[in-house]
Structure 1
């Protein structure tokens, strides 16, 4: 919980959701959901990490922006699933 609280206090953009998962009490994980790439990138900057952007999954090209970090020995993943880009560069659209 301390890591989640720390993220909320230090994140330049307040995330709408911070989740702590403890399937094994000795190995908690924190997931930070943002609604924008800017939120993930701002947190990445504070943590000294780099955000990556990739298609969400095969068949779903929406941009998925994320960082993985470790804070006080707790794995943290911050992410945002964005809307599909308006301009696909002519790929997959009508001619």
Structure 2
């Protein structure tokens, strides 16, 4: 379930790099690598200081021709996946 305040923090002590439009997160403690597409990478960067609705608006500003509610649902699903993968945590 999403945090009611909408604020999260990165909990991996990982290195991040961009490659071919993707964000690659490597956690040296677990040895796990997470590869995020460009949109998921943007959500990851923004979710620490922006509520999900603000993230959806930011994505819409990039000119995506998708309904705001659809994007908001996708943003919330992505954030929930990050929480389940223990990439971020609610604060």
Name the one with the larger strand percent.
1
Q: TM-score range by the shorter chain?
A: under 0.3
Q: Which has the higher contact order (CA 8 A, sep 6+)?
A: 2
Larger radius of gyration: 1
Normalising by structure 2, report the TM-score. Answer: 0.27
